[in-house]
Structure 1
Amino acid sequence: MVTLGFVDTRMNLSEHVQQLRQRYRELEEEIARPQFYSQPLHAQEVLKEHARIGELVRVGEEWEKCRKQLREMDELVRTAEDPELRQLADQEKERLQRQERELSRKLLLGLLPPDPNEGRNTIVEIRAGTGGEEASLFAADLYRMYSRYAERKGWRKEVLSHSPSELGGFKEVIFLLSGPDAYQRMQYESGVHRVQRIPVTESQGRIHTSTATVAVLPEAQEVDVVLKPEELRIEVCRASGPGGQGVNTTDSAVQILHIPTGMIVRCQDERSQIKNREKALRILRARLLQKRQQEESQKYAQARRQQIGTGDRHEKIRTYNFPQNRVTDHRLRLTLYDLATVLDGDLEPLLDALAEKEAQERIAEILKENR
């Protein structure tokens, strides 16, 4: 994992710790009021902030205690006459410096504005890119990889829509992941994924390069995106493609056009027209929420927009090379020679490193603003 270098933020952090204590006292006073629970939604938000600020206050107190001990060790290193005692004090000083760096990092991250998508479920869209049938097979490999990762995390998976290819791959597959930190972890997967291998359709043993795109969207609630009936054009038609009995014999497929944006969503996985309509609306809301958030993010500085890669479809984020048994994440310049393990859903080394990289960039932003 990438580690943070030391940054001297002690003066600024001291002021922030005092502000955190003051805010925590204010929240405690508000919670103690008799009418606090008369507004359940507001109370829920206050309790959530109270828990978050309380944890930061605890970290801040640890940081202050660490600083005090560090000053004491520094003094002992300078004044101790016994060489053995001075050596022990110097070792303890190094340990305290490492602890102070980690506590400073936690405080800085806690001072950043909370992610508006924190705690949301996520909708993942995988589409075959360049490479014909091989791209569809690669899209299926990515789907299996994320499915196994979801199993490791204990998340619930629900397929919203899929379009299979002739050889068992996916032209497109859209699914929902529900569980703690689902969006926080999966957000780093947006972009173009590239595979290099000998396709099953290749008769001369040549290595081909194919791609698939992955889009990760926070699931939108009805209060996030209001869909007006007059802005929707909903059509029903007969489902097509391979499937069980009834797939091609009932008018259950639903296609929704969002007139203001031109977005089109089609769902046909369910035999029930109502269920297909519900799934299509969920996908549409998620896409509209992502569009709105992307437009808002353009107001910020370029450094914030980059955020470990923009997630744009044209951006190649990772390569899966079968002949060399390697996975390379181009945002990190990190290569792992354990392709089978990654494809089996062990994504933590990659996602941990990406999360740490984002943490460094966000900390650099707040330090720059405080100069």
Structure 2
Amino acid sequence: MIDKLRQIEIKFHQIEEQLSDPEIISDMKRYAALNREYKDLKDLVTIYHEYSNILDAKEVAKQMMEDDDAELREMGSDEMNTINAQLVKMEEEIKFMLLPKDPDDQKDVVMEIRSGTGGDEASIFAGDLYRMYSKFFENQGWKQEIVFVNEGSSGGYNKIEFEIQGQDVYGMMKFESGAHRVQRVPKTESQGRVHTSAATVVVMPKLEMEDVDIKKSDLKVDTFRSSGAGGQHVNKTESGVRFTHLPTGVVAESTDGRSQIKNREIAIQRLYQKIYAQQKASYESDLAAKRKSLVGSGDRSDKIRTYNYPQNRLTDHRINLTLYSLDKVMEGDIMEIIESLRLYENTERLKEME
């Protein structure tokens, strides 16, 4: 582990130097990617330094325990017990931090909430979930934009779709996908009986233009003489450029510019746009398919979480987490739930690696 942390520190300082390179600063896409990596490594380098200091302190305590002075040996023994406890805790933390990250965790999110079984009460509950999430987004400093709304007849939503932008959005919100069940006395209930209803939530990472990865080795480039208006220059010069993306068969060309260099720029941009449109169509198809797999039928029994209002209780059935603070949860205080789910996932991933 120490060797791995040393290598990370070396890489951290290399990226630190690159971030001050004018050529990289001028390339916003590359600079942003390096800056994200720099921030991720910074936490590891910080804990590595703390870990190294504790290891040094352990050596000092070991020397104290070997001293001729009995009092000094006792002090060394007490110090060693404290240090060993610190090391166990820190080593577990480092193991989690060294787990490979899901590249989608950094992405913005497309999120959808739909009413499930339960009629008007399900729509009202879908609205309550949207309000809960909105308050959480606000506390995180994230931005959100509503894409589609279909309001319920008695309040709330039959369906609401929105996008969230911010830091590590998908990494924090991905566990919310599934059926959410509510148990409470509906506003529409005249006799005070507790009803059970459901709403479904889907969280998907948002596809961005930079997700399009085109390798030079996958491109076939042709130049040709342009035809049409433009005089002798257009007809005699091979200024037209055509790109063919071999893996997908997508073709884009340009004869708009007077120079081949300009037409290359235009054609490659068009190629990116076409492949992006193709990937987006595939992504939206996957989104629809994944929605079905994530939320199941939307039935009350097909749930990941239960919100019990009479007992002020929330239960996440995947990790057997129960909180008696539903009132705070519905005001956007869901960080404890998210952190518990992330810890569970990381623990399971550690078991797989061992």
Q: TM-score higher than 0.5 here?
A: yes
Matches within 5 A, 1:221-260: 221-224=208-211
Amino acid corresponding to residue 15 of structure 1 in structure 2: D
Q: What is the distance in 2 between the residues matched to 1:102 and 1:338? A: 29
CA 23–196 in structure 1, closer or farther in 2 if over 3 Å, else same: same
Kindly indicate whether residue 296 of structure 2 is the aligned counterpart of residue 291 of structure 1: no
Unaligned runs of 5+ in 2: 214-275, 297-301
Residue deviations 1:8-46, cap 9 Å, x none? xxxxx0231243345446656767888656765445434
Corresponding residue of 1:171:
158
CA 101–214 in structure 1, closer or farther in 2 if over 3 Å, else same: same
Kindly indicate whether residue 295 of structure 2 is the aligned counterpart of residue 313 of structure 1: yes
Q: What is the distance in 1 between the residues matched to 2:171 and 2:75? A: 42
Q: What is the distance in 1 between the residues matched to 2:79 and 2:118? A: 58
Residue deviations 1:251-310, cap 9 Å, x none? xxxxxxxxxxxxxxxxxxxxxxxxxxxxxx99x949817938x99xxxxxxxxxxxxxx9
Corresponding residue of 2:107:
120
Kindly indicate whether residue 51 of structure 2 is the aligned counterpart of residue 56 of structure 1: no
Amino acid corresponding to residue 56 of structure 1 in structure 2: L
TM-score between the two structures when normalised by the length of structure 2 = 0.68
Q: What is the distance in 1 between the residues matched to 2:313 and 2:349? A: 29
Runs of 4+ aligned residues of structure 1 deviating over 4 Å after TM superposition are 24-40, 77-81, 85-88, 284-287
TM-score between the two structures when normalised by the length of structure 1 = 0.65
Q: What is the distance in 2 between the residues matched to 1:29 and 1:156? A: 32
Contact 1:217 1:287 in 2 (8 A): no
Q: Residue 167 of structure 1: CA displacement?
A: 0.3
Q: Which moved more, 1:329-338 or 1:21-30?
A: 21-30
Larger radius of gyration: 2
Q: What is the distance in 2 between the residues matched to 1:40 and 1:75? A: 52
Q: What is the distance in 2 between the residues matched to 1:102 and 1:77? A: 23
Q: What is the distance in 2 between the residues matched to 1:353 and 1:316? A: 18
Q: What is the distance in 1 between the residues matched to 2:22 and 2:191? A: 78
Q: What is the number of equivalent residue pairs in this alignment?
A: 284
Contact 2:105 2:172 in 1 (8 A): no
Q: What is the distance in 1 between the residues matched to 2:21 and 2:32? A: 14
Matches within 5 A, 1:29-178: 41-74=29-62, 76-77=64-65, 82=70, 85=72, 88-178=75-165
Q: What is the distance in 1 between the residues matched to 2:19 and 2:139? A: 38
Q: Residue 95 of structure 1: CA displacement?
A: 3.3
Q: Which moved more, 1:144-153 or 1:196-205?
A: 196-205
Q: RMSD over aligned Cα, in angstroms?
A: 3.5
Q: What is the distance in 2 between the residues matched to 1:205 and 1:286? A: 47
Unaligned runs of 5+ in 1: 1-12, 227-280, 296-309
Helix, strand or coil: the match of 1:312? helix
Corresponding residue of 2:250:
none
Helix, strand or coil: the match of 1:216? strand
Q: What is the distance in 2 between the residues matched to 1:105 and 1:333? A: 22
Corresponding residue of 2:328:
341
Amino acid corresponding to residue 138 of structure 2 in structure 1: E
Contact 1:217 1:290 in 2 (8 A): no
Amino acid corresponding to residue 60 of structure 1 in structure 2: Y
Q: What is the distance in 2 between the residues matched to 1:15 and 1:67? A: 14
CA 334–49 in structure 1, closer or farther in 2 if over 3 Å, else same: closer
Among all aligned residue pairs of Structure 1 and Structure 2, give the percentage whose two residues are the same amino acid.
36
CA 88–175 in structure 1, closer or farther in 2 if over 3 Å, else same: farther
